[in-house]
Amino acid sequence: MTKLNAHDRRAHHLALLVAATFFMEYLDTTVVATALPQMATSFHVGPNDLSFGMAAYMLALAVFIPVSGWIADRFGARTVFGGAIGVFTIASILCGLSNGVETFTGARLLQGIGGAMMVPVGRMIVVRNTDKSRLMQAISTITWPAIFAPVVGPPLGGFITDVASWRWIFLLNVPFGIAAIVCVIMLVKNERDPAHRGLDVVGFVLSGASLICLMYGTELASRESTGLAWPLALMAAGLLVGVVSFRHARHHAHPLIDYALLKVPTFSVTVVSGTLSRIGINAVPYLMPLMFQIGFGLSAFNSGLLLLVSAIGNFGMKALTTPIMQRFGFRPTCLISVGGAGIATLACGWMDPGVLLIWTLVVVFVYGAMRSLLFSTLATLAYVDIEKPRMGAASTLWSAAQQMTIGMGIAFGALALRGATWFHNGHGGPAHPHTVVEFRWAFVVCGILTLLSLPGYLRMARNAGHAVTRGTDAAK
């Protein structure tokens, strides 16, 4: 094993610190859903009454992720990253102590502001302080929380809720948050942009409005109790405002979101083709537990055990991701992982209670492994050709796209299932519980969407990111 110099050792410690904070944020996002029934009982309301409290977190992300890079450049990376962890931790305490829908919604809104600053600024700190020769290892380290947390979160949330109380889901963040702040003070330099660019207020308003409409629209679309007209109208409005935001940025000297980064081929493919891939792939964690419980009739616990096989695939692939990228390069790795994830998603539709258990285990494992490989590859590819001064802007745009596709993946899965039910149920006949056949066609649609992103990766240069995969420092 090569001995690390002082600079590389510090970069490695930074990656571990950022990964730990990411895991805290991503895990908190995913565990809450399982605690909703108990929280509703505590607040003396129905579970649906908590929906706005859940949406408040997402909407805060939509507004503040685009401005996070500017704030970090203006006030310093250490100040903003440490402050974001502090805000997230304080908000976690308020969530755990809340006794009503209003106080919980306010606390989740504050928590979303902390999360919006924490994730993109943390990623920016890592990519700015890591040489290109070690970028793959660093990105692999900070990517695993986003891959692992959505899988382990629901069963963990259920366990905490059953053995203790839903309040501990939030209160357990406190010691981790305090430890992280101490590490930030010790490790992170307070780097800032000496140019002191002014805030693009119009861009801030436009990007926030666009992301709010898109993310809230997709969240509404995922609810079976909601009609489709209002969610689709919101998403259409979000796209329209997004076009206006794009046109504004093209004519602004220092836009809040630098869309000019899309002219960099390797960055563009991660945002454009990567968005299509992630929507299809992110629909699976929504559909799979529903199929196991509703279609197969399994208990929540047994369903969680099957989902843990996906987590094993995620973790197992994590150790192989860097060697695979170094051996084959970015283009073949993207093609293999997208193709594998698409085929595994299609195969999910042919899982059945009557088939051998080993078939289900293999399909779930392969899906987890290919998902891990693709997400880690895209997260690295996004930065291979970005100059250090533009890392902050790249992190902002990448984080916004990544966050958006999480909600859109869930919404697409829900819409695919609703469409399959509509066709299977005689084009709008009486409602009935979802059947295995309906889940099958929902998985087929999601698998096809994933495979439709393949042409974008095929157009990549064969030597894309060559300097990074061969271990040379392209920054020198």
| Residue 63 sits in the same domain as residue 38 | yes
Supply the angle between the helices 300-328 and 135-163 in degrees, to the nearest 10.
180
| Residue 176 sits in the same domain as residue 241 | no
Q: Which among 419, 410, 149, 143 is positioned nearest to 280, based on CA atoms?
A: 410
Per-residue pLDDT, 315:
80
Q: Which among 202, 16, 174 is positioned nearest to 89, based on CA atoms?
A: 174
| Residue 300 sits in the same domain as residue 395 | yes
| Residue 55 sits in the same domain as residue 172 | yes
SS3 label, residue 3:
coil
Q: Report the range of poorest mean pLDDT among 239-253, 316-330, 369-383, 420-434.
A: 420-434
- Region 62-84 average pLDDT: 89
CA distance 7 to 473: 14
Cα dihedral sign, 406-411-417-423: negative
Residues in the chain: 476
Q: Which among 233, 217, 240, 143 is positioned nearest to 407, based on CA atoms?
A: 217
Q: Is the pLDDT of residue 86 over 60?
A: yes
Q: Is the pLDDT of residue 472 over 50?
A: no
Phi-psi region of 428 (alpha: psi -120 to 50; beta: other; left: phi over 0): left
| Residue 219 sits in the same domain as residue 279 | no
Q: Name the token pair of 316.
A: 């197992």
| Residue that is last in its domain, among 196, 211, 243 | 196
| Residue 290 sits in the same domain as residue 382 | yes
When pLDDT is cut at 50, 70 and 90, the band that residue 255 belongs to is confident
Total number of domains constituting the chain:
3
Phi-psi region of 132 (alpha: psi -120 to 50; beta: other; left: phi over 0): alpha
| Residue 143 sits in the same domain as residue 222 | no
Q: Name the token pair of 320.
A: 């192989």
237 burial level (CB within 10 Å; 0-12, 13-18, 19+)? middle
| Residue 159 sits in the same domain as residue 247 | no
CATH number at residue 374: 1.20.1250.20
Report the predicted TM-score, pTM, of the whole model to 2 decimal places: 0.81
Q: Is the pLDDT of residue 282 over 80?
A: yes
Would you give the DSSP letter of residue 206? H
| Residue that is last in its domain, among 196, 227, 246 | 196
| Residue 133 sits in the same domain as residue 209 | no
> How does pLDDT run across 20-40, given as a tens digit for each residue?
888 888 777 777 766 777 788
Q: Which domain holds residue 57?
A: 1-196
CA distance 90 to 170: 10
> How does pLDDT run across 166-201, given as a tens digit for each residue?
888 888 889 989 999 999 998 888 888 776 678 889
| Residue 299 sits in the same domain as residue 325 | yes
The single-letter code of the amino acid at 245 is: S
